Amino acid sequence: MPTCRICGTPLHTFLDLGHHPLSSAFPTPAEARRGDACDAFRYRLAAGICERCALVQLTDDIPHERRPYPGYPYHSSGSSVMREHFRATGRHLLRTELPGRHAPFAVEVGCTDGVVLRTLADAGVRTLAFEPSGYTGAEGVRVHRAFLTAASAREAVAAEGRAQVVYAANTVCDIADLPGFFAGLGELLAPDGVFVFEDPYFGEIVGRTAFDQFYDEHRYYFTATSVRALAERFGFRLIGIERLSVHGGQLRYTLARAGRRPPNRAVAELLAEEAARGLTDPAVLAAFAGRVDGVRKDLVALLEELRATGRTVAGYAATAKSCTVTAYCGLGPRLVPYVCDSTPAKQGRLTPGARIPVRAPGAFAAPYPDYALLFAWNHAAEIMAKERAFRAAGGRWIRYVPDVRVV
């Protein structure tokens, strides 16, 4: 029986999406012909909730050697909306946590493109990234090439002092050793400092039936309820919450050391809302799993019907989420002959497991398909604005979150 990675209590498994390849394993056509292609490995993608600390997590661990190196092939600012989001986040931290500080010091954990730190550095804040891949797209961002642990934090503190702000986006949800991470935070954070992090919100996943947020790179799916418990377990307190619209609905959590600051009203409000929604209630979770199954049936039925009636279909964006959709729904080139994606590292390759050819965005209009399956639904506004000519030419988008519809 799978148990909670934090407290060891048995997990209640409420969603089982079957066996999936790794979401970043894009083989070349030549590699795919061999039996040992990178996308041949399968793990069971199932989610459970801890009956004690309410932490939603994947039930199965992926062997460490199977996991992609951090940062591949993800660029946090690959979308203009995300780039602006991270700049705004930097400005927000400057306004809320860093004004009036003497020689402020801020750290980001898992910074990838470094947009937040760059924004802080431009305003005169001393910055450092903990980024085990060593990769940062932003010029001038200093990198401590390590995971945040007690040992790596002590090294950084000896050289730089303690940080007023530690920030992480889409990182905490994938940290294997959260106790080690919080031990590092305990070393790194100034006594009155804050840890600010943002991750996909489980309440939003349930509310929108966004089952494709479940994939190998997200081990944890947080709620205010579970983050409060997590923080308290490691000597911190959840003091702030903000809702963010990016990535299909995220929360930004602010943690302070226990006893340093009171929580704001938003924390109590969201805790009450989560209790009222029954986000830990097995019946509510079973209903969610039922809706997920309904989306699968509707999507497959629609694609089969389009194929039978001679309509052309393309996928739009070979996202990590699309790997969950194709594996769970059993989609492949028969129903989705190709997918267009703006990431050069994915173009010319095949999607993980489903082996749908990935083409550059230019292929989308040459010629337009009749229908485009929008895998990057979290970037819908940006993509639909960019691809206005597709609809003008009679093309239609297929969406599957929160339900299957043609728009």
**Which residue's entry shows tokens 């940080």?**
163
Q: Which of residues 140-169 bind ligand TMP (CB under 6 A)?
A: none
Q: At what angle do helices 80-96 and 115-122 cross, to 10 degrees?
A: 40
Handedness of CA 198, 204, 206, 209 (dihedral sign): negative
Candidate ranges 119-127, 198-206, 229-237, 315-323; the one touching ligand TMP (CB under 6 A) = 315-323
Candidate ranges 17-25, 116-124, 181-189, 379-387; the one touching ligand TMP (CB under 6 A) = 379-387
What is the length of the chain?
Answer: 407
Q: Return the amino acid letter for 56.
A: V
Instruction: Give the residue from 18, 12, 20, 19 showing the smallest Cα distance to 48.
Output: 12
Does 319 interact with ligand TMP (rule: CB under 6 A)? Answer: yes
Using the rule CB under 6 A, which residue among 47, 244, 320, 374 binds ligand TMP? 320
Rounded (5°) CA angle 203-207-213: 70
Query: Between residues 252 and 359, which has the closer beta carbon with respect to ligand TMP?
Result: 359
Handedness of CA 398, 400, 402, 403 (dihedral sign): positive
**Strand duo 56-58 + 43-50: pairing:** antiparallel
Query: Between residues 173 and 238, which has the closer beta carbon with respect to ligand TMP?
Result: 173
Report the C-alpha gap between 232 and 226 in whole angstroms.
10
- Whose CB is nearest to ligand TMP? 317
Report the C-alpha gap between 22 and 5 in whole angstroms.
21
Query: Between residues 209 and 343, which has the closer beta carbon with respect to ligand TMP?
Result: 343
Query: Between residues 144 and 379, which has the closer beta carbon with respect to ligand TMP?
Result: 379
Candidate ranges 14-22, 27-35, 199-207, 313-321; the one touching ligand TMP (CB under 6 A) = 313-321
Query: Between residues 73 and 186, which has the closer beta carbon with respect to ligand TMP?
Result: 73
Using the rule CB under 6 A, which residue among 382, 384, 391, 399 binds ligand TMP? 382
Q: Which of residues 338-367 bind ligand TMP (CB under 6 A)?
A: 341-343, 346
Candidate ranges 37-45, 249-257, 290-298, 373-381; the one touching ligand TMP (CB under 6 A) = 373-381
Candidate ranges 27-35, 51-59, 380-388, 389-397; the one touching ligand TMP (CB under 6 A) = 380-388
Does 383 interact with ligand TMP (rule: CB under 6 A)? Answer: yes
Query: Between residues 274 and 341, which has the closer beta carbon with respect to ligand TMP?
Result: 341
Q: Number of helices and strands (H, E) in the chain?
A: 12, 17
Q: Which of residues 167-206 bind ligand TMP (CB under 6 A)?
A: none
Does 78 interact with ligand TMP (rule: CB under 6 A)? Answer: yes
Contacts of 117 (CB under 8 A, 6+ apart): 90, 106, 108, 111, 127, 128, 129, 136, 138, 141
Query: Between residues 332 and 361, which has the closer beta carbon with respect to ligand TMP?
Result: 361
Report the C-alpha gap between 53 and 227 in whole angstroms.
9
> SS3 of 8, please?
coil
Minimum CB–partner distance for residue 376 and ligand TMP (Å): 4
Interface residues with ligand TMP (CB under 6 A)? 78-79, 317-320, 341-343, 346, 376, 378-379, 382-383, 386
